[in-house]
Structure 1
Amino acid sequence: MSETPDVGSVGGSWVVTVWADRDYFELVRARGTTGDPDDLPGDFPTDLAPREIALTADEVRVGRAGDRTGTDAPEIDLGGPPRDPGVSKLHAVLLALPPDRWVVIDAGSTNGTTLNYGEEPLTPDTPVALRPGDHIHVGAWTTLTVDRR
C-alpha cells in the first residue's frame, strides 16, 4: 500500500470495512450481473475476515493490483486471496469533499458498482454522495461499508 497524505481539510474520521457479503453474493448470482457466469466462485468465501481501512487521503482507489510489485496497487486492493472475479483493476474511487463528506465514483468498471443492495449500477464517472453506514458493492461478493467515527 502506498503512503497517502492526511486529509486535513476534510476533518472527521471515516473508515471503510471490506467484507464478503453473502446477501450481495446471492443477489449477484440471481441477477447474473458479473459477466461470465463460469467466472463466479463456486462457493462463497466463508473464511474471509472483514478488514477495516481508515480513509486518510483525499482520493482512495478501489480495485485489484495490476502487478505484484505494488507499483500500481490501489489503496484498497481487492486482489485476494481469495480473488473476487468481478472486481476490475480500477473499479471505483472514493473522494473526500469538504467539509467531512465522501463520494463514490464508479471508474468505468466492467461489472458496475451499486449502493445499498440497489439493482441499478452507478453511472460511471459520476460522483454519488455517501452517508455513514452506506454499502458500496463491487464484484461478485465484496461490500465496502463506509462509516464515520
Structure 2
Amino acid sequence: MSEGPPVETTQDAGTGTWVVTIWADRDYHELVLARQPADAPATPGEFPAALAPREVVLRADEVRIGRARDPAGGDVPEIDLAGPPRDPGVSALHAVLLALPRDRWVVMDAGSTNGTTLNYAEDPLAPDTPVPLRSGDTIHVGAWTTLTVERR
C-alpha cells in the first residue's frame, strides 16, 4: 500500500491533526463472511494476518480512498489500498473524506461496488451522501480493510 502526495489543507492551524490508521480488521472480515449469502459466487479473500497497520495524516480538503488503476501511478487515490495484499472488495474509487470548516470531516461512499460502512453497521452508507465523522470512528471498505479516523 502506498499513499499519494500530501496536499496542504485550508483548515485552521492549531485545531488538531486528523490521522487515518489503515489496518486489516479480522472482526470486520468475519462479519463480511457471515453476511455473505450461501450461494455467493466469490469469497472475499483470505485474511492477511501479517499486514501491519499504517497511518496517513489528512492534509488535503479531499482525500480519496481506493486502489490505483494504473500500476504506473496514474490517478492514484490519496489513500491507495492497491496492496499487496490486495483487498478484493475495494473499488478503484471507493470512498471520499471531505474536510469541513471548524475541523470536521465527513465520509461519502463514492458509488463503490461493495459499499462502505461505519462503525460495524450492517447497512452501507448511501452513495454520495456525506456522513459526519467523530474521532475514533471506523470506516469499513472491502473484505477486511478498516480505517480508523482520529483527531490528535
Q: What TM-score, normalized by structure 2, do the two folds share?
A: 0.91
Residue 25 of structure 1 corresponds to 29
Task: Specify the SS of the correspondent of 1:26.
Answer: helix
- Give, in angstroms, the shift of residue 40 of structure 1: 1.9
- Give, in angstroms, the shift of residue 39 of structure 1: 4.2
Residue 3 of structure 1 corresponds to 5
Do residues 45 (structure 1) and 53 (structure 2) align? no
Match of 2:139 among 111, 136, 149: 136
Q: Stretches of 4+ moved more than 4 A in 1?
A: none
Alpha-carbon displacement from aligned partner over 1:28-56 (angstroms, at most 9, x marks no partner): 000017xx552421x31100000000000
- Give, in angstroms, the shift of residue 7 of structure 1: 1.4
Cα distance in 2, alignment partners of residues 145 and 123 from structure 1: 20
Task: Specify the SS of the correspondent of 1:38.
Answer: coil
Whether the aligned pair in 1 keeps the contact of 2:32 and 2:44 (CA below 8 Å) is no
Residue 122 of structure 1 corresponds to 125
- Structure 2: which 5+ residue stretches go unaligned? none
Matched length: 146
Whether the aligned pair in 2 keeps the contact of 1:19 and 1:144 (CA below 8 Å) is yes
- Give, in angstroms, the shift of residue 2 of structure 1: 3.9
RMSD between aligned residues: 1.4
Cα gap change, 1:22 to 1:37, in 2 (>3 Å): farther
Identity of aligned residues (%): 69
Whether the aligned pair in 2 keeps the contact of 1:39 and 1:85 (CA below 8 Å) is no
Alpha-carbon displacement from aligned partner over 1:40-83 (angstroms, at most 9, x marks no partner): 21x31100000000000000000000001112110000010000
Do residues 58 (structure 1) and 76 (structure 2) align? no
Cα distance in 1, alignment partners of residues 77 and 111 from structure 2: 15
Task: Specify the SS of the correspondent of 1:29.
Answer: helix
Cα distance in 2, alignment partners of residues 10 and 90 from structure 1: 28
Cα distance in 2, alignment partners of residues 8 and 90 from structure 1: 23
- Structure 1: which 5+ residue stretches go unaligned? none
Whether the aligned pair in 1 keeps the contact of 2:4 and 2:80 (CA below 8 Å) is no
- Give, in angstroms, the shift of residue 4 of structure 1: 3.7
Residue 90 of structure 1 corresponds to 93
